[in-house]
Structure 1
Amino acid sequence: MQDNLKIKTGSLCPAISSAGLLGDKWTLLILRELFLGTTRFNDFQRALPRLSPTVLSKRLKMLEVNDLIVRKSGATGRTKEYRLTRSGRELGPIVEYMAVWGLRWRRRRIGEEDYDISGFMWDFHRTLNADALPDGNTVLYVKFKDHDSYSRWWVVARENTVDLCMDDPGLEVDVYLTSSLDCLISVWMGDATVKDALELGTMTIEGMPHLIRTAANWFPQSPLSKVRPVTSID
């Protein structure tokens, strides 16, 4: 079984060997999640909702067999966690630069059909700047006005953790944020500011006055929001 998962390219070229291992989009997305701190199977599923459990399991096993990750017992001993090896960690700059290149040169080719609410909200919640929030629990309610399904989300920040919920956690909401998916992605990606979206009326924020005034400070932002797309091709 393990021999079937080892990548065989039929070439001595190291570049071809690497491409054979990393050339699958799901493999790259799984590696991206690992670099962002995802370690458990269920969290991979939440971050990559379009990836079936069967394919996820197969890709993780392939990465393990090819020595990019190892599977270890978690802190409680009840669950397994996937951890990068030294070989896997060295892929970090490669995957990051692929993302930077894609934002610079392929951004305008990414359309609404590529958007996924669940995947985006997973990125959105883990990039919340919790350090800019008051002490104690802060609950953010996100409502997408242009979608019927997966339209309501709760982001709960407490101490050193930020959780994402699709069901009402039963906590008092501090901020109500209403927006279209396209607008929220634009602000998260740095294409528009919170101020821009509020002034245009494409996004509204209601709730605790302090959090409304400081929204630009705590609002989630993509780690690559400073990367600007190329506007013309020479």
Structure 2
Amino acid sequence: MDSNTKNISGSLCPAMASADILGDKWTLLLLREMFLGTTRFGAFQKAIPRMSPSILSKRLKTLEAAEIIIRKSAPTSQAADYKLTRSGRELGPIVENMAIWGMRWRKRSIAAQDCDVGGFMWDFHRTLNTEGLPDGETVILVQISDRTDLSMWWVIANSESVDLCPTDPGHDVDVYLTATLANLVALWLGDVGVREAVEAKTVFLDGSRHLTNTAHDWMAQSPLVGVKPASSGR
């Protein structure tokens, strides 16, 4: 083995040492969820449905061994809470800046990906702007017109919480939102506005007149909607 090979395999570069722990999509998605407030194993599964339980368990153990998170037994149940340490909290700006970079430089490839319906709807329901909704409970039925499986999602919102159900919870629906998954993602990413999408008939709203007329006030949007893609070739 020559000296150059030794330098690569035994590098003291801190960036490489960090990449050994963080350079994995599942780890980054898991950390993102923790920065958004998710702490339970079951909640991680709902937010990242493509991540198998075995991979989730392995990544949690890796982060715990690296002292980026700690596992704490919940006092009122058998479930455990996973909490960020000081080291873990310092990763917040790093993960956020990676997301901003992705929106600026990789947005086209992000939008072209085979989007996971469950993961997207989890993001959609928790970015609903409840301040734009009337007081009390509002039930939004999201119908994804180009999917045969997991095509209907009930979003139940009030001023304190927003719940997501893939099966009919038995509540009266206040407004129906229908679109293909690609058009719904475009709306969420801010590529198209609500009025523009409705006029173009890529998104359909039906139900309470007040809710359909004020959809631009309550519609869910990505927290990074203000990040514009970089100009091509720059």
Give the TM-score normalised by the residue count of structure 1.
Answer: 0.93
- 1:38-187 to 2 correspondence within 5 Å? 38-74=38-74, 76-187=76-187
2 CA distance for matches of 1:149 and 1:44?
Answer: 21
2 CA distance for matches of 1:49 and 1:126?
Answer: 16
> SS in structure 2 opposite 1:230?
coil
- What is the aligned-residue identity percentage? 58
> SS in structure 2 opposite 1:54?
helix
Contact persistence 2:131–2:159 (CA under 8 A): no
Letter in 2 for 1:61: K
> SS in structure 1 opposite 2:27?
helix
2 CA distance for matches of 1:153 and 1:119?
Answer: 12
1 CA distance for matches of 2:159 and 2:75?
Answer: 19
> CA shift at 1:86, angstroms?
0.6
1:23-60 CA distances to partner (integer Å, 9 max, x unpaired)?
01110110011011111111111111111100000000
Q: Which moved more, 1:91-100 or 1:64-73?
A: 64-73
2 CA distance for matches of 1:23 and 1:114?
Answer: 21
Aligned length in residues: 226
Contact persistence 2:26–2:51 (CA under 8 A): yes
2 CA distance for matches of 1:37 and 1:75?
Answer: 18
- 1:21-36 to 2 correspondence within 5 Å? 21-36=21-36
Letter in 2 for 1:17: A
> CA shift at 1:113, angstroms?
3.7
RMSD (CA atoms):
1.3
1:69-107 CA distances to partner (integer Å, 9 max, x unpaired)?
111133623321111111000000000000111111111
Gaps of 5+ in 2: 1-8
> SS in structure 2 opposite 1:141?
strand
Gaps of 5+ in 1: 1-8
1:176-226 CA distances to partner (integer Å, 9 max, x unpaired)?
111111111111001100011100001111111111111000000100001
> What corresponds to 1:225 in structure 2?
225
2 CA distance for matches of 1:14 and 1:210?
Answer: 55
1:105-152 CA distances to partner (integer Å, 9 max, x unpaired)?
111223544311110000000000112111111100000111111100
